[in-house]
Amino acid sequence: MTSLSWPTHPLTPAEWEALPESDEFRLEVAEGMLVMAAKPHGRHQVATGRLFAAMDVALPRELMAVPDVEVLLESAPLTIRAPNLAVVPTSVYDLDPPRYSAADVLLAVEILSDGTRRVDRVLTFSEYADASIPQYWIVDLGSPTVLTAYLLVDGAYELVGEFRDEAGLTVAGSSVTLDLAALTAR
């Protein structure tokens, strides 16, 4: 059995930067504490790639979809999440930051996987709202694939809709249509 030496105290930004990369785990920080989850399986990864490709085609030049990037939600206590996909202004993307500020994220998307369902529906949901990210989508790859969209209104997320088969949505004023079945179908 391998013993990992991970911090057992609230992390500082410098300690976060110094952590080794992990091939086994997806790492985030919640209120200063290191959060580890298993890396997503192939179906999840394919869906993320296809969602990115669809968003990349649908969004105007002023907006950029970026997969699996760090987002700084809170400096103290340190909270960094890595949504499966984020939409940011292209002007911010062009700066190539090591992580995005929550103020720069227009949409955060989480694709549910084993070990993150409750976190993405409850904890991350409230963290993104507290960080004032204007839109949040949760994608469930069950049969059928369901996209649940939320819009931030007066500091809280309100349900925009649950979509199956096809989702017609607006992202930062731009219309986006997604074929949800195509996210996982061969």
Q: Inform me whether the pLDDT recorded for 5 exceeds 70.
A: no
- Asked whether residue 61 carries a pLDDT value surpassing 80, the answer given is yes
pTM for this one? 0.91
Say what the pLDDT of residue 1 is: 44
Diameter over CA atoms, the chain = 51
Collapse the DSSP code of 11 into the 3-class scheme (helix H, G, I; strand E, B; otherwise coil) and give the result.
Answer: coil
* pLDDT score, position 62: 97
CATH classification for the domain delimited by 40-183, as one of 3.40.50.720, 3.40.640.10, 3.90.1570.10, 3.30.9.10: 3.90.1570.10
Label residues 62-90 b or e (16+ Cβ within 10 Å = b). ebbbbbebbbbbbeeebbbbbbbbbbbee
Domain ranges of the chain: 40-183
* Burial class of 182 by CB neighbour count within 10 A (0 to 12, 13 to 18, 19+): middle
Most confident of 29-33, 36-40, 113-117, 135-139: 135-139
The model's pLDDT over 88-130, given as tens digits with 9 standing for 90+, comes to: 999 999 999 999 999 999 999 999 987 787 888 888 999 999 9
Across the range 64-75, mean pLDDT stands at 96
- 143-183 pLDDT tens trace: 899 999 999 999 999 999 999 989 999 999 999 999 999 99
Residue 17 has pLDDT above 90, yes or no: no
